[in-house]
Amino acid sequence: MILWTTDLPPFVLFYAAAFAALYLRGWWRSVVMLLVPVAGGIHLAGVADGTALHLSVLGFELQPYRVDALSRLFGYLFHIAAFIGIVYSLHVKDTRQQVSALLYAGSALGAVFAGDLMTLFIFWEMLTLSSVFLILARDTERSRSAAVRYLVIQILSGVLLLAGALLWYQKTGSMAFTFIGIDNVAGLLILAAFGIKCAFPLLHNWLTDSYPEATPTGTVFLSAFTTKVAVYALVRGFPGTEELIYIGAVMTCFPIFYAVIENDLRRVLAYSMINQIGFMVVGVGIGTELALNGAVAHAFNDVIFKGLLMMSMGAVLHLTGRINGSDLGGLYKSMPWTTTFCIIGAASISAFPLFSGFVSKSMVMSAALDGNHQVVWLMLLFASAGVFHHAGIKIPFFAFFYKDAGLRPGEAPPNMLIAMAISALLCILIGVFPSILYGSLPFAVDYNPYDSSHVLAQLQILFFSAAAFAWLKLSGIYPPELHSTNLDFDWTYRRFAPQLISRITLLMNTMYQGLRNAVRRRYHALLYKLEQHNGPQGLLARSWPIGSMALWVAILLASTLSLYFITG
């Protein structure tokens, strides 16, 4: 059976299934889609480390398939994520979404098993091309324009990667994807390419822009693959690059301000996603075995718990058609299971002991302390508190509790519940028995998350963070202007946040808006100019009379002749 040929790259199965899904209908399609990640995962377990495919194309020695501990872990992760995502989206009967989801998952697998930069580039672009349909499938004007912005930025990332890969080849004579480093132009270009997909600060807008515009099920897939492939690529290409520590630290902190004031709960999760990736980037930057293990482990856990949160919000959006915190509330009465799962996800992302986030986040934080990065450690501490505040409390609180918005949609469909249950189970399982995850990490683990100092420190953070939230909410809930500004725009939430944060955010927002408007004005002016010259009636595009065409010929002839005569 071909499935058991060990050198069959995992993406082949997904691509084949995507092709089959084009022609299958009804539950046949569902069966095939469900079988693929299961069969692929079992298959991957039977492949030995060190398996590789070699290929010679256009004079390049390529390695389209390479298995080692690092890629294997991401391989398992993506199989699990694909399976959960497919179960979650079983009720969707949209060929476009289903095919692109399979292609998307396959491309992510192709990318993490790519042994050379060329193959990586191909899957890098395939990730973009397949995922854009998950955003488009929402079929709204907003999603369409978000998809275009997403596409342009992601293709730019691909172009940077290609340029970097070329330069790297010129420099080293090899296409192999191993440690790259930033001491050369090629490395910088490649890092920029990874950085875009990884949502580095200032390069992050595509993420918060497009993910909340995708379909309820599409966002679940989107949140699992693109950024995690980038994290994998960073771990492979840039471990121990010090700059990444600071980039990552900034990533953990700045989204918190935005997340607190955001009203669209899926956008809140998108911001918190950048915050979680920040932890991983810090880990990659520190680059010790413990830190890299932490980064990888946290990527693994993040896919599961962020997926769980996205699924719970997706269920809410699916059933109520609303996703703004101001429009929701009191859903726990009609959606008890979804509420439970959401709280488990919230506990995991907030790194409660006995939940999965705790066992991986604390690895990165310990590594930061070991490496004498106290300031970074404090930033991470602040970020941990912030996560709990906006993702751990705000999401479940405003969606399921708080003021009853009078919505009685009923419980989510069984397939959604099953998908969420699997994720929730994994969150708790990894949290209680971290050795399951530790055993598959790229480096040997000599680390115990459950010593008293870790547990106590984390519980303290959580306690004070919760206390702060309660206090702010209680003190902010009774101001007299409540009735006039009730439950409307995100500005209500600023009452819950400390005045200081509110001011900072306001300032940041105005500056950002100012900058954005300035850039936008310039952009429109440029576009107008371009249209004037290049549009159908423009100088460069209109049909010219023959005389002027002939004039051009004369000009060109005269100038070439004089150039030749001068040099000749």
Residues of this chain that bind another protein (CB under 8 A)? 57-58, 118, 121-122, 125, 136, 139, 144, 148, 151-152, 155-156, 159, 162-163, 166-167, 170, 530-531, 534-536, 538, 540-541, 543-544, 546, 548-550, 552-553, 556-557, 560-561, 563-565, 567-568
Least distance in Å: CB of 519 to another protein? Answer: 18
Distance CA 373, CA 399 (A): 37
Q: Which is nearer to another protein, 185 or 504 (CB)?
A: 185
Q: Which is nearer to another protein, 436 or 540 (CB)?
A: 540
Least distance in Å: CB of 104 to another protein? Answer: 16
Q: Which residue carries 């098993």 as its tokens?
A: 113
Q: Kindly state the tokens that stand for 548.
A: 């002027």
Q: Which is nearer to another protein, 165 or 251 (CB)?
A: 165
Judging by beta carbons within 10 Å of its beta carbon (0-12, 13-18, 19+), is residue 99 exposed, middle or buried? Answer: buried
**557: number of Cβ within 10 Å:** 10
Least distance in Å: CB of 111 to another protein? Answer: 13
Least distance in Å: CB of 90 to another protein? Answer: 24
DSSP structural state of residue 31: H
Phi then psi dihedrals of residue 448, to 5 deg: -125, 110
Task: Please tell me whether residue 180 adopts helix, strand or coil conformation.
Answer: coil
Q: Which is nearer to another protein, 125 or 213 (CB)?
A: 125
Query: What's the Rg (C-alpha) of the chain?
Result: 25
Q: Which is nearer to another protein, 155 or 343 (CB)?
A: 155
Q: Which is nearer to another protein, 242 or 531 (CB)?
A: 531
Q: CA-CA-CA-CA torsion for 449, 451, 455, 460, nearest 10 degrees?
A: -130
Q: Which is nearer to another protein, 59 or 406 (CB)?
A: 59
In the beta sheet, which residues pair with residue 53? 65
Least distance in Å: CB of 215 to another protein? Answer: 15
Distance CA 228, CA 234 (A): 10
Q: Which residue carries 């859903």 as its tokens?
A: 331
The secondary structure of 493-519 as a DSSP string is HHHHS-HHHHHHHHHHHHHHHHHHHHH
Least distance in Å: CB of 540 to another protein? Answer: 5
DSSP structural state of residue 537: T
Amino acid sitting at position 5: T
Least distance in Å: CB of 173 to another protein? Answer: 13
Nearest to 67 by CA among 4, 113, 109: 113
Distance CA 361, CA 293 (A): 10
Q: Which is nearer to another protein, 118 or 412 (CB)?
A: 118
Least distance in Å: CB of 191 to another protein? Answer: 17
